[in-house]
Amino acid sequence: MLSIEKLNVSVGDKKILEDFNLKIGKGEVHAIMGPNGSGKSTLSYVLAGKDGYEVDGKIMFKNENIIELPADERAQKGIFLAFQYPIEIPGVFMNNFLKTSLNAVKKAKGQKEVDVVEFLSLVKQHAKKLGIKDEQLGRALNVGFSGGEKKRNEVLQMSLLEPDLAILDETDSGLDIDALKVVADGVNALRSPNRSFLIITHYQRLLDYIKPDYVHVMVNGTIVKTGCSKLAQELDKIGYKEFQKAI
């Protein structure tokens, strides 16, 4: 599904990712854990196609190097980034945004676009599963949403767009236990043999709900250890200091 080879990312003189390598197979769930400033969020932005970075290397997605592609084309090909801090956009209403997004992706895939009636029925169905009220769908995008509402909204978008690779950037931050469970249930419902996940987090608690196949420890822009889900539990006890020292 995804193969990152010798990815180097910098901003000005500052190197953020250095010779970064990662392979994610079809249907696999990978978690990346690491201390603040280790480059986790940058990795998610670079995978999603954000401008402003000097990028070198290969990002092979479904056997195509997407490193030069803009963000919209990557999303249309099936990459979804659930933002750590979803952006508030005043005046852009949820329903309009979701319909535009869904139809842009469908159009790129050569599928039939949905009309208003089909869309409303679909979005309400998905929203209900995530405990999102209809009223929220009539509001401006993320404006005035609580932390929990924003994260649920990210999962709603993910469930509508049905990506092949979902990157969750600290989706657990700012969530209380109940909201965390709702979000995790939403993600688990999307797990399938054809969909891969990359979960970026500081803490093990999200991984109690979404069981990863692999856990990677990332320090100073590179992966320093890979293990199974038990590694997350270990990290919770010993922290990242040991890995930072090693570097």
Partner 1 sequence: MNTITDIKEVSELRALSLNLFNKHGYPTKRDEDWKQSPLNNFLQDNKQLEIYKTNNDSINEEVFENFKHNKIIIVNGLVQKTDFIGKDKDKLIITTINEYYKKNNKHLSKLFSNKKNPLVAANNALATSGLYLEIKDNLDLPIIIYHQYNSKIDQKQLHQKNYILINKNSKASVFEKFTNENKKTFISINTNIDVEQNSHIKNYILNTNNTENCIYRFKKVNIAASANYESFIFSNIVKTIRDEVEINLNQSLAECYLYYTQFLKNNEDHEIKVKINHLAENTQSYQFSKSIIDGTAKGVYQGKIFVDQIAQKTNGYQLIKSVLLSDQCTFHSKPELEIYADDVKCSHGSSSTSLNKDELFYLMARGIPEVQAKRLIVQGFLSEVVEKISDENFKNYFLKKTEDMLS
- Tell me which of 95, 101, 173, 229 binds partner 1, using CB under 8 A: 101
Place of tokens 């038990």: 230
| Residue 11 binds partner 1 (CB under 8 A) | no
Q: Output phi, psi for 200, to 5 deg.
A: -105, 125
Q: Cβ closer to partner 1: 94 or 184?
A: 94
Q: Closest distance between partner 1 and the C-beta of residue 206, in Å? A: 21
Q: Cβ closer to partner 1: 105 or 217?
A: 105
Distance CA 75, CA 161 (A): 9
Q: Cβ closer to partner 1: 168 or 215?
A: 168
- Tell me which of 72, 113, 115, 176 binds partner 1, using CB under 8 A: 72
Question: How many chain residues interact with partner 1 (CB under 8 A)?
Answer: 32
| Residue 51 binds partner 1 (CB under 8 A) | yes
Q: Cβ closer to partner 1: 162 or 208?
A: 162
Under a CB-based contact definition with an 8 Å cutoff, are residues 98 and 160 in contact?
yes
Cα separations (Å) of 22 from 164, 208, 223?
Answer: 17, 23, 8
| Residue 144 binds partner 1 (CB under 8 A) | no
| Residue 67 binds partner 1 (CB under 8 A) | no
Cα separations (Å) of 112 from 83, 105, 118, 122, 161?
Answer: 28, 10, 11, 14, 14
Secondary structure element (H or E) that encloses residue 135, with its range: helix 134-137
Distance CA 80, CA 131 (A): 21
Tokens, residue 75:
């999303």
| Residue 89 binds partner 1 (CB under 8 A) | yes
- Tell me which of 7, 75, 175, 184 binds partner 1, using CB under 8 A: 75
| Residue 165 binds partner 1 (CB under 8 A) | no
Who's near 204: CB < 8 A, 6+ residues apart?
A: 33, 232, 233, 235, 236
Place of tokens 């954000």: 50
The partner residues of 199 in beta bridges, in order of sequence, read 31, 168
Who's near 13: CB < 8 A, 6+ residues apart?
A: none
Q: Cβ closer to partner 1: 60 or 104?
A: 104
| Residue 140 binds partner 1 (CB under 8 A) | yes
Under a CB-based contact definition with an 8 Å cutoff, are residues 186 and 204 in contact?
no
| Residue 114 binds partner 1 (CB under 8 A) | no
Q: Closest distance between partner 1 and the C-beta of residue 230, in Å? A: 33
Q: Quick one: which segment of 3-11, 46-54, 170-178, 212-220 binds partner 1 (CB under 8 A)?
A: 46-54
| Residue 215 binds partner 1 (CB under 8 A) | no
Per CB under 8 A, residues contacting partner 1 are 48-52, 70-72, 74-76, 80-81, 83, 86-87, 89-93, 96-97, 100-101, 104-105, 108, 140-141, 157, 161
